[in-house]
A and B are shown apart, each in its own frame.
Chain A
Amino acid sequence: MIKIKIILPYHFKKEYLSNTIELNYEQPVSIDQIIKDSKVNSIDVCFVKVGDLIVKRDYIIRNSCDIKFIPVVGGG
């Protein structure tokens, strides 16, 4: 069993009314699939961090871990 704990930092917390989402998988899974399963709007996610590593959406998670969804960066 691969246990994924998704951390929703910054203003995500308020938007999704939770700090974390937990998902379980039997097999390795892509970041893209995790975003879909989390029900977080994919447009809201600017990038994803696994530990200190920023990963692409086709990155495959093979072991239990914490991942962070980082919201779209503003500016101006």
Chain B
Amino acid sequence: MPYGYTGNILHVDLGSKKHWVEHPNENFYRTYWGGRALALYYMLKDMKPNVESFSSDNLLIFATGVVTGTPAPGTPRYVVCAKSPLTGAEGESEAGGYWGPELKKAGFDAIIIKGISSTPVYLWIKDGKVEIKDASHFWGKETGIVQELIKEELGDKRIRIAQIGPGGEKLVHFANIVNELKHYNGRNGLGAVMGSKKLRAIAVRGTKNLNIFNKEKVKDIAKQITKRITDNPLSRTLKEFGTVAGVGPVYEAGWLPTNNWSDNDFKKGENLAVETYNKTILKNTEGCYACPIHCKRVAEVNDTDIKVDPLYGGPEFETVIALGSLCGVDDLKYIAKANELCNKYGIDTISTGSMIAFAMQCYQEGILTKKDTEGIELTFGNKKAMLEMIEKIAKREGLGVVLSKCSTLAAKEIGKGADRFIHQVKGQDVPMHDPRVKVGVGLQYALSDYGADHMKATHDQFFKEADSPGTKTMKGLGILEPVSPTDIGQKKVALFKPLDIYWSLLDTLGVCDFGYVPRSVGTLDELLEIIRSTTGWRTTWFELMKLGERSINMARIFNIREGFSSKDDTLPEAFYQNFKGGPLDGKGAINKKDFEKALRLRYELMGWNADTGIPTPAKLLELSLDWLIDEVK
């Protein structure tokens, strides 16, 4: 068994209630490593094309990375993959927290789940032993209650639980999976896949030590990184203010997504900024396993008219905007309440906010009426209506039945031109970063196999100037010069190729981008040494970047098998229009032809056909993926 791994991959068939353990050899681990690459290996090998997302043949895969659970900062992460009910494409979402490290301590690198149970169940994994247990008595209950009940039932407070909520049980297309009530595999509706399998939770407990080649070296690097956290402006900001620190500057820059992207000049933006957050709702900060950065916020409100339970964490950058300005809401207490509700029910805050903002615009345009909303005045800024709609979506009641689906389907069902007001890529609503001011992020939105996602690569502003954090720290990957965030030329396309590969690598290794360059404090050298000291392999950035590229190509092929093509690599029309109002008024429109040209160039740089975006057989051979060549013929 190679260092860094348990050497065990757990397979569970919920239909037959059987489970078995696979012990891959070292070459397998050194080819696919873990995380998204390992998950994609099984999705490509064991799933036939075009299975239904909610069928027994869809695999639901939880996979840790090789450094998950080591003492290094920013290494708590694991991925969940399946075919997504939201996009119909490769579904993928990473989470931090404590569950991933605990799974490895319990003896497994990954869990591959197939089949559908006839009754609600949960998995209980302790030190290599696996049980499929009845979860009928948990079904329908909120996540916070189930968390406590499972711990009571199993008699151990140190159990870590990844679970779905009632939203996942009811197959809301953007239901999520949460661990420890605060860490989310948030996007792509993977909670609905888990719900379709009638799998409410996976509880894990491990007492084994991880098998690390040179633990003292990893600890030493962790100490060095920790010492520098407060010297680095990015990690210092994350530690002191969390991701919410970004909201004020976005407002100031004039691109705060407002009223379902119809506006960018939210007049009450200061009410959402970190200063207001800290004064009105912040209770304390929290972090993930072994991470000293502590970027998570916990919110609490105890007003007479509104209360927010700190058990469910607090809203972060995406949530503050998606359930804030995007819905025209400027009251952080209500946004925190909306966050709490989404988390109790297990639904993604970005998609939930996006669907409510979409419905609000439809209502204002007369496409939806009070009859449709059952009397709710669904106007932008109506914070109480927003909370009511979250309940309806999570419970799939009334208008919530339509809004609980992928936005493309919802717009189709509503009709009357409602599709003008959706903003999605491959069926997933765009996150709260406007590609007009971050064109590289826009390219990533379009190219992302799992639909628009802000975590598909880093963001353009880190390479804006010669002294910007990314330009200064990523020279080891050949990134030497700054590029303007709004540039869409060859330099930008060339810049985002290694960044995409690097990000894909982080999602394969189990590394959080908030721990390492360009977004944070750990250096490329330190990250490489952590991987070497964990595995004992004298690996190089050459090998690691090939790994990142391998996983990108595997995801691309999965989607090609599902019928996706270069036509699906698009941006919503709104981003080809200029900003309206504020400092960016009359500017910003992305030139569609330039964007399409950039995509073609990117295909070529990736070794894909410039017209179709399909990986060439030679590229697959280069990446040791020759077993997939038949898929692209």
Contacts and interface: CB of A to CB of B under 8 A. Distances in A.
Interface of A: 9-11, 13-15, 41-44, 46-47, 49, 52-54, 57, 68, 70-76
A44 B244 CA distance: 16
B274 interface: yes
Given A41-B233, A54-B583, A75-B433, A70 B252 contact: yes
Contact of B248 (A9, A54, A76): A9
Contacts of A72: 233-234, 237, 249, 461-462, 469
A42 to B, nearest CB: 5
Interface majority SS (helix, strand, loop, mixed), chain B:
helix
B249 A49 contact: no
23 contacts: A9-B252, A10-B245, A10-B273, A10-B275, A11-B248, A13-B275, A41-B233, A42-B467, A43-B467, A52-B582, A52-B583, A54-B583, A68-B252, A70-B249, A72-B234, A73-B249, A73-B461, A74-B241, A74-B242, A75-B246, A76-B318, A76-B513, A76-B519
Contacts of A68: 252
B240 interface: yes
A11 B242 CA distance: 11
A14 B237 CA distance: 11
B318 A49 contact: no
B464 to A, nearest CB: 7
Interface residues of B, number: 43
Contacts of A71: 233, 237, 245, 249
A73 B233 CA distance: 11
A11 B236 CA distance: 11
A10 B253 CA distance: 13
The 5 closest A-B pairs by CB, nearest first: A74-B246, A10-B248, A73-B246, A44-B233, A73-B249
Interface centre among A10, A15, A49 (most CB of B within 10 A): A10
Q: Which of A13, A43, A44, A70 has the most CB of B within 10 A?
A: A43
A41 B467 CA distance: 10
A44 B238 CA distance: 13
Given A43-B233, A75-B317, A10 B249 contact: yes
Interface string B268-283: 0000011100000000
Nearest to A53: B583
B583 A10 contact: no
A11 B253 CA distance: 15
Given A49-B583, A75-B433, 12 more contacts: A9-B248, A43-B472, A53-B583, A54-B583, A71-B233, A71-B237, A72-B237, A73-B249, A73-B459, A74-B238, A75-B317, A76-B514
Interface in B250-275: 250, 252-254, 273-275
B580 to A, nearest CB: 14
